[in-house]
Amino acid sequence: MRIVPKILHFLILIIFLILQISFLERLELFGLSFDLVMVTIICISMIDGILYGTFYGFISGLVFDLMLGNIVGVTAFIYAIDGFAASNFVNMGYNKRRILAFVFVTFLITEINLILTSIIRYIFDLNVNLVDIGLELLKRPIFNIALIFLVYPVIRAGSKGEDTFEFGYKEKD
């Protein structure tokens, strides 16, 4: 196990987090927005495995909470669960159909992310509109799915082929 790629992945994640706050949030197109951090956590989970996915998710969420969050710890929890679940989905057998795996895993994690966020906000007494959440459950994964095909090669470039999840078109099952 080489530690340098893992550290590199962590640095990329933190840079992407700042990129999300400083730049991507302003690029809302047709009401759809990206979640670069979540997509990066999914990629790290696929490449480095469950431990790094969960831990990096937790740390990046914590940094986000400290910079912009309402309640410190909430985003850390959500991103950690995202990392944990992404790795589990891959281990469950989604890696049999590689390109589809990216789509399905990103779709599922985006939905989990949104549902968890809504539940936690509801617990903390913030209003939750079910119709709006339903709409968001449909439209939010679209850009995240497109984004994962851009982010994955960047994350993988640093791992020098040591990942646990190969990119689809390389080999046949």
Partner 1 sequence: MLNKKLRNAIILSIIIFLCLLIVTVSLRDSDKVKGIRAKALDFFRPIQEKIHSFFYPLIKAVNTVKDYFGLIEKVRALEEENSRLLKDYSENINLKVENNALRKLLGVKQRNKFDTKLAKVIGFYESRWQSEAILNVGRSDGVLEGMGVITEKGLVGVVILSSNSSCRVRLINDPQSSIGARVLSSRKVGMVEGSLDKKVYLKYIPKDDIIFRGDIVITSEYSKLLPPEIVIGRVKRVSVSKQSPYKEIEIEPFVDFRELEYVLVVTR
Which residues would be at the binding site for partner 1 (CB under 8 A)?
15, 18-19, 21-23, 25-29, 33, 50-51, 54-55, 58, 62-63, 66-68, 70-74, 76-77, 80, 84, 88, 117, 121, 126-129, 132, 136
* Nearer Cβ to partner 1 (72/99): 72
CB of 159 to partner 1, least distance (A): 20
CB of 98 to partner 1, least distance (A): 22
29 pairs with which residues across the strands? 32
The phi-psi region of residue 31 (left if phi > 0; otherwise alpha if psi is between -120 and 50; otherwise beta) is left
CB of 84 to partner 1, least distance (A): 6
Contact 128, 121 (CB under 8 A): yes
H or E stretch covering 31: none
Two tokens, residue 148 = 């994962």
What type of residue sits at position 112?
I
